[in-house]
Amino acid sequence: MAVFSHADFADHEGVYFAADPESNLRAIIAVHSTVRGPAAGGTRFWRYESDEAALTDALRLSKAMSYKNAAADLPLGGGKAVLIYPEGEFDRVSLFEAYGRAIDRLGGTYITAEDVGVSPEDMDIIHSQTKYVAGLSKGAAASGDPSPVTAEGVFRGLKAGVRHIWGSDDLSEKTVAVQGLGHVGYALCEKLHAAGAKLLVADINERVLERAEASLGATRVESQDVHVQKADIYCPCALGGALNAQTVPDIQAKLVAGAANNQLASAEIMPLLERNGITYLPDFVLNAGGIINVATEVAGNYSQEWVEQKLVGLEATISKILRVADEEGVTTLQVANRIAEDRLKRE
Ligand code: NAD
C-alpha cells in the first residue's frame, strides 16, 4: 500500500499504523500539521472495503482538519484517525482501550474526539488510557458530544448563505433536502423545522426517517435521489463525496450547505458547481462547531461564552467568503483555502 506516493499524501507530518491482535484493533492515525498546535480531529469507526480506502480517508480527513482548525482560528493542528471496524466478534471496551494506548504512545502529538461511529462513552474508554482525548461525557472540562454545536454552526452558516443569495434569511418559504439524519443531520433538521423550512430527508436508517416524519413533518426521499429533489438548499450530512461528477449536474438547489466532511469528491467538482450556478459553502469552515467545542475542552476550561463567540466568528467567516468570492470572481473554496493556508504557514 503506497503511503508517500499516495495521491492524498500532502506532506503529512506523520502517519501512524496501530494494531493489537487481542482486541482486533487496526487504526490509522494521520497527523497532517502541528504548526498551530497539537493535531486535533475525531476518530472515525467504519467498515472499509480495504486498508487503502481507510488510508485515503485518514489522509484526506486529517488535511481537512488542519484547514478547519486554521479557518476557525483555533490553536490546534490537524489530524484524524480511522478505526477499521473488525470482521466478526469483538469487545468494544478492549478495542477502545487498545486504541487509547496507541494514542498515548504519540505523547500528545494527536488529540482525538468523536467522529462517525463513535460516542462520548467511547471517548471515556479512551480516556482510561490517555489524557489526549476530548469530547468526554464527564469531568471538569468535559464538552460532551460535539454534534449539537456542529449543527448550530452549520445552521448559522447556512443562514448566512441564504441571506447572500435571497437577501433575507427567512427559511419559511424554503425547501431543504438533507442527506443523513445522524447526530448532526437530525439536529440540523430540528433547527430548520423550527425556522419553518420544509424538509426532504434521506437516510439508510429507517428509524430516524420515521422519527423525522413524525416529529418534523419531513418527507422522506431515496438516498440516491436526494440531490435531484426540487429544493432550494441541499445539506449533505452523511459521508464524504456527495458532490461528484454524477450528482452535481442533477442538483436542483441553489445552495449547498452541509455538515459532511470532504463533500467534494475531487478538485474538479468546484468549477462544475460554479457552472451549474450552485453556491457551495466550504465544508471545513461550515462544520467547525464541533471542533470549536472540543477546543475549549482541550484548553482545560470549557467556556460556553467562548464557543458562542467562535460560532459568531464562523458565521462571519462564511459571509466574508461569499463576499470576497463575488468581489474577486473566484470560488468560495479558493477564498476559504486562502484563509486557512495563510494561517498554516510556518513562521
Ligand atoms: P452519524 O454517524 O451520527 O450520522 C451519519 C448518518 O448518515 C447516519 O444516520 C447514517 O445512517 C446516514 N447515512 C450513511 N450513509 C448514508 C447514505 N448513503 N445515504 C443517506 N444517509 C446515510 O454522523 P454525524 O456525527 O452526524 O456526522 C455526519 C457528517 O458530518 C460526517 O461526514 C462527519 O464527518 C461530519 N462532521 C461531524 C461532526 C460532529 O460533530 N459529529 C463535526 C464535523 C463534521
- Helices assigned H by DSSP within the chain: 51-71, 92-105, 120-127, 147-166, 183-194, 206-216, 269-275, 283-286, 289-298, 304-328, 332-344
Q: Which residues contact 172 (CB under 8 A, 6 or more apart)?
A: 195, 196, 197
- The span from the CA of 113 to the CA of 43, in Å, is 6
pLDDT at 146: 87
| CA distance readout (Å), 63 to 104, 196, 259, 283, 311 | 21, 36, 17, 13, 22
Ligand 1 atom showing the smallest separation from residue 44 Cα: 34
- What residue's CA is closest to ligand 1, atom 8? 182
Task: State the residue for C-alpha cell 462564511.
Answer: 318
Q: Is the CB of 251 under 6 A from ligand 1?
A: no
Ranges under pLDDT 70 in the chain: 347
Q: Is the CB of 259 under 6 A from ligand 1?
A: yes
Q: Which CATH number fits domain 14-64+73-127: 3.40.47.10, 2.30.30.90, 3.40.50.10860, 3.40.640.10?
A: 3.40.50.10860
Q: Which CATH number fits domain 147-288+316-344: 3.10.180.10, 3.40.50.720, 3.40.50.740, 3.10.105.10?
A: 3.40.50.720
Q: Is the CB of 119 under 6 A from ligand 1?
A: no
Per the annotation, the verdict on 80 as an active-site residue is: yes
pLDDT at 301: 83
- The span from the CA of 243 to the CA of 268, in Å, is 10
131-140, Cβ contacts within 8 angstroms, sequence gap of 24 or more: 131/104, 132/38, 132/103, 132/104, 132/106, 132/108, 133/100, 133/103, 134/40, 134/294, 134/297, 134/298, 135/42, 135/293, 135/294, 135/297, 136/297, 140/302
What residue type is assigned to position 334 of the chain? Q
pLDDT at 101: 98
pLDDT at 172: 97
> What are the residue boundaries of the structural domains of the chain, listed by start?
14-64+73-127, 147-288+316-344
Which pTM value belongs to this model? 0.93
Ligand 1 atom showing the smallest separation from residue 202 Cα: 20
pLDDT at 140: 75
- What is the distance in A from the centroid of ligand 1 to the CA of 182? 5
